[in-house]
Amino acid sequence: MRVSPWLAGLVPAALIAAGLLSGCATFRGSKRIDVGPFSENTSGMVGALQRFNRPAVWTHLKKYQTLPSVKQVQQSVARARMLTRGVALYSSQIVAVYQSPLSEEKKISELARYMTETIRPNLIANWSGDYGVTPGYLDTLVQDIQTHKTLLTALGAAQRLVDLTASTGDRLLDQVDDDVQVAAADINARVEAEFAPLKARIEELDEMHVASVRSYTLLQRLRGGDPAALDSLRTSDPGVKDLIPSGRAPAPRDLDAAERYVIDRTTTIKSLRDQIEPAFTIYRENQAELEELRNQTDERARLARMTLVMWQRSHRNLAAGISVAPMIDVTGMLRSTLSAGAKTVF
């Protein structure tokens, strides 16, 4: 299912802007809203957006970056980035118009002009019929906005588009989630295939090491007078069996020879294991990076959904002139998420 890039251009200003809008309304006696907090949050959001839009940093998995499954993720994320930029611009426009010395009539005209000159061309250029927004729909919306007497009630008329934007953003994030899962599974399968021979060799050496340690333990039990240990040694360790003559109890020199053999073999196994450990470290780093990419992307998607819901609700309350106490510091959470690491599938 294709997502309208225009909606992608409008919606996520939603994705991160929600945090801004959540604390924007404070009544004064004149019933004029103090958009100072909203303005400050908008500035913070724009800075956060710049960090959010940093190119992904791939290290160990760089060679998988051009896979078709990864390209699909990048396309879905590009729509999300377009959404965030669009909502950021929309939110900034609201602040600029509201704080301007223009009359209410001219403020409404500026909002309508923004809808007509900025949003509508993107709608026409990138329209997809999946979400019920057509140029005609927006023309009707702009006409409705122009019938209002105050900017806040005009924003109330725009709420229909905000609601549609929010639902579209949710679908877009579903698509991102699905694409990330497919890409992660694709990369994981390729990493596992690449390192399968190495992992098999390591498993073999580890099994040999365990068996050799077991033989050493049996030798010590035999020295301690446990006759059952001799049968176990001859059954489980052909190398030791050759060093312990059958038909008689082993002499001390036989046990000494068997012990030296087991110790030398264990040392050799460990040496071989140590030699291939650097390659196995690369495998673990590949898997760790993939897990980090996936976890950070999931975290950002959850934050985006939360922000989208709050933005939708805050826009509605802003239009109604309702003071909204911040439910959560979304902008701060976003900064924390971004500072946790640069690597992300986004």
Range in 9-13, 193-197, 238-242, 318-322 the model is least confident about: 9-13
- Look at the block and give the residue holding tokens 């409008």: 10
Q: Which residue has the higher pLDDT, 312 or 93?
A: 93
Cα–Cα dist 261/50, whole Å? 64
CB 6 within 8 A of CB 122: yes
Domains of the chain by residue range: 5-190+307-339, 195-283
Q: What is the pLDDT of residues 320-343, one digit of tens each?
A: 776 544 444 555 555 554 454 444
Q: What is the pLDDT of residues 77-110, one digit of tens each?
A: 888 778 777 777 887 788 788 888 999 999 999 9
Range in 117-131, 138-152, 240-254, 298-312 the model is least confident about: 117-131
Average pLDDT over residues 210-216: 95
pLDDT number for residue 326: 46
pLDDT number for residue 323: 59
pLDDT number for residue 265: 95
Task: Pull the structure tokens for residue 282.
Answer: 């690369």
Task: Pull the structure tokens for residue 332.
Answer: 């701060």
Task: Pull the structure tokens for residue 217.
Answer: 């333990």
Q: What letter represents residue 23's amino acid?
A: G
pLDDT number for residue 120: 80
pLDDT number for residue 132: 64
pLDDT band at 13 (very low <50, low <70, confident <90, very high): very low
Contacts of 145 (CB under 8 A, 6+ apart): 108, 111, 112, 115, 154, 157, 158
Cα–Cα dist 19/307, whole Å? 6
Q: What letter represents residue 177's amino acid?
A: D
Collapsing DSSP to helix, strand or coil, 345 comes out as coil
Contacts of 109 (CB under 8 A, 6+ apart): 146
Range in 55-69, 130-144, 255-269, 311-325 the model is least confident about: 311-325
Average pLDDT over residues 27-33: 45
- Which DSSP state fits 251? P
Say whether pLDDT at 69 is over 60: yes
pLDDT number for residue 205: 96
CB 143 within 8 A of CB 120: no
Say whether pLDDT at 51 is over 60: no
The mean predicted confidence, pLDDT, of the chain is 78
Cα–Cα dist 70/181, whole Å? 10
Say whether pLDDT at 203 is over 50: yes
Helix axes 330-339, 13-21, angle to 10 degrees: 130
- Percent above pLDDT 90 for the chain: 39
Calculate the CA 191 to chain-centre distance.
Answer: 19
pTM across the whole model: 0.73
